[in-house]
Structure 1
């Protein structure tokens, strides 16, 4: 597996956010548009092509939250997600945050693996989050996505 090394840049105009890419991680365009308004969208570029994205938003004065992270399907498992997480870590430390949060579904097995390898630990489970906030059922890996697993990384270490 050859790793890909993108350049990560802030997207200055949220209206240019790569919605189709963001929908890989969150099928709700309504929720995506909501956190794009309050957060900062960064894109991972390989040449002129957007191959990944991450949306960061302040949760409180000590905590930055990753609202969305997605990588183009054909480039998944090539280190892009890991690089986006490392970027969020470095940027959050530079801005003085003490923690980073990220949420994912109970059925998102690959994401849970990636986040824990990157130093995130399970903080809490928001039961029935996806049943309450999404009109259509979501299935991944043959498992219905029902609960939101919130993971946290302590940046003081």
Structure 2
């Protein structure tokens, strides 16, 4: 698979569908997306993923949103996007790359650690404090599990 990365000049409706798949609050997405560099990920000119990167502190870059189109998941695209963003962050001379996910987002935690991220801390009650509605993890096999905490992961690039 030969993925193409295109910096988004404007966030399209299709971009929003993917961004909101990873983060269910349009208001929160809008709050960080305007400060981020957003890359659309294409395969054969079809949008298959999206990633948003945000400088947060000196020499630190955060992946604030990453999503793969539902019909394209479990094909390794997410791993390829992460590897490309890691290489880009290194080339841009960042020292640290960060990412966060729900404490019960087991598949994402597996992928992030597989590419080299390490758990660094837990932001307790992140989702209950920052989202106006309960966030239910749609990927879990049982219903009603309310997402409360965010796991923060870090990768040292140098």
Q: CA deviation at 1:17?
A: 6.9
1:88-131 deviations in Å (ceiling 9; x for gaps): 10111111101100010011110000000010000110100001
Q: CA deviation at 1:139?
A: 2.1
Mark the runs of 5 or more structure 2 residues left unpaired by the alignment: none
Does the 8 Å CA contact 1:98/1:154 hold for their aligned counterparts?
Answer: yes
Aligned residues: 153
Does the 8 Å CA contact 1:138/1:145 hold for their aligned counterparts?
Answer: yes
Does the 8 Å CA contact 1:9/1:43 hold for their aligned counterparts?
Answer: yes
Q: CA deviation at 1:16?
A: 6.5
Find the partner of 1:87 among 75, 84, 88: 84
Does the 8 Å CA contact 1:14/1:37 hold for their aligned counterparts?
Answer: no
Cα RMSD of the aligned pairs, angstroms, is 1.4
Q: CA deviation at 1:47?
A: 2.0
> 138-147 vs 99-108, which deviates more?
138-147
What is the match of residue 130 of structure 2?
A: 133
Mark the runs of 5 or more structure 1 residues left unpaired by the alignment: none
Q: CA deviation at 1:7?
A: 1.1
What is the match of residue 58 of structure 1?
A: 55
Distance in 2, matches of 1:18 and 1:36, equals 11
Matches within 5 A, 1:28-39: 28-39=25-36
1:20 correspondence with 2:20: no
What is the match of residue 147 of structure 2?
A: 145
Distance in 2, matches of 1:146 and 1:135, equals 12
Q: CA deviation at 1:51?
A: 0.8
Distance in 2, matches of 1:100 and 1:133, equals 23
Distance in 1, matches of 2:29 and 2:111, equals 22
Does the 8 Å CA contact 1:85/1:118 hold for their aligned counterparts?
Answer: yes
Consecutive aligned runs of 4 or more in structure 1 exceeding 2 Å deviation: 12-17
What is the match of residue 9 of structure 1?
A: 6
* TM-score of the aligned structures, taking structure 1 as reference length: 0.92
Q: CA deviation at 1:39?
A: 0.5
Distance in 1, matches of 2:75 and 2:17, equals 20
